[in-house]
Amino acid sequence: MVIKLKTTAFAALGAIVLGVGAYAAFPPDAPKGMAFVKAGPAVLGYVYYTGLYGPMPYLVADFWIDEFEVTNENYAGFVAATNHAPAAFADEDDLNQKDQPVTGVLHADAIAYCQWAGKRLPTEIEWEKAARGLEGQLYPWGGEDDMSRAHLSGDAPVSVASFASDISPFGVRGMAGNVSEWVSDVRMAKAGRCMDGGADARTQTPEMMLILTELKEMNGGVLPEMCLPPEVDPNPHIAGEPCAYIKGNSWNGRDHMTVASNRMWDYTNAYAEFVGFRCAKDE
């Protein structure tokens, strides 16, 4: 279903969000190797069942995010300093090169590394804003459907410094390809779904509410299905398994997974050769 709004709400989103200032407004005490994402609204999401629902303006606070995915060399330093278990593929030559992104890490491993580094995992909303910029562009590099810009094929990840064209408006690299990335959002998996349990995690803005009100009026007094908040868990008394969201495509993915709004998930006690992470930090 295609919905056309009576007002210019969607058309105005770019102007609304661009009013928050330039992308590269770095504070003077910039942490090494991190990009600054300024507080304010950003157009995020697509349709709810593929991730955050939208496109809608979401409010996001100031934060920092790693310019590159955490590498095997970075992670080895953490292991040596803390006696933490090595990454699952630490002995496999095609996956353990120093400048490749680390893979074979559980969600808890990623959390532990970021805490050791004085950081944390980014939320899905933060990750997506860092990847898409303020105007809701489809890919980190813009709206062009050019899969050659990112590492989306082959047999293994490549150096995090490869594919300079896979870069976001904030200067963050490798958010479209190379490896997918754990984010901090944790839910409960039931019946093969990573369920929200009724929690609506969106941060509402006046612009978002204007759009939702208009869509409701146009749809006979109810919101279209694509704009409904997360489904309430119908069986809250039944135990589930913890799961976490994953963002970004990888060398092992399919082209349609490259749009930055796309959401994947896995159990928190799982790992894969195509899933890594990067860290964030509060301003």
Report the number of secondary-structure helices (H) and strands (E) in the chain. Answer: 5, 10
The answer as to whether 13 is a domain residue is: yes
Per-residue confidence in pLDDT tens, the chain, 283 aa: 333 334 344 444 444 344 434 454 556 678 999 999 999 999 998 865 678 877 888 889 999 999 999 999 999 999 999 999 999 999 999 999 999 999 999 999 999 999 999 999 999 999 999 999 999 999 999 999 999 999 999 999 999 999 999 999 999 999 999 999 999 999 988 888 887 765 455 566 777 778 778 878 888 888 776 666 656 666 767 778 999 999 999 999 999 899 999 999 999 999 999 999 999 999 8
Which of 150, 181, 145, 148 has the alpha carbon at shortest distance from 271? 181
Neighbour tally for 1: CB within 10 Å? 6
The answer as to whether 209 is a domain residue is: yes
Provide the 8-state DSSP code for 98.
Answer: T
Q: How many domains does the chain have?
A: 1
The answer as to whether 3 is a domain residue is: no
pLDDT computed for residue 219 by the predictor: 84
CA angle 145, 147, 149 (to 5 degrees): 105
Which of 135, 123, 106, 105 has the alpha carbon at shortest distance from 20? 135
The residue written with tokens 């661009």 in the block is 18
Provide the 8-state DSSP code for 247.
Answer: E
The answer as to whether 4 is a domain residue is: no
pLDDT computed for residue 150 by the predictor: 98
Q: For residue 197, what are the domain limits?
A: 9-282
Q: Which pLDDT tens digit goes with each residue over 238-253?
A: 778 999 999 999 999 9
pLDDT computed for residue 142 by the predictor: 96
Cis peptide before 55 (omega within 30 of 0): yes
DSSP 173-208: BSSSSSSEEEEEEEEEEETTEEE-TT-------HHH
The answer as to whether 176 is a domain residue is: yes
The answer as to whether 155 is a domain residue is: yes
Decide if 236 contacts 195 (C-beta within 8 A).
Answer: no
Decide if 57 contacts 41 (C-beta within 8 A).
Answer: yes
The answer as to whether 222 is a domain residue is: yes
pLDDT computed for residue 233 by the predictor: 66
The residue written with tokens 């928050």 in the block is 20
CATH of the domain at 177: 3.90.1580.10
User: How many residues can be counted in the chain?
Assistant: 283
Alpha helices in the chain (DSSP H): 9-18, 72-82, 107-116, 124-132, 206-218
The answer as to whether 40 is a domain residue is: yes
Provide the 8-state DSSP code for 52.
Answer: S
What's the predicted TM-score (pTM) here?
A: 0.84
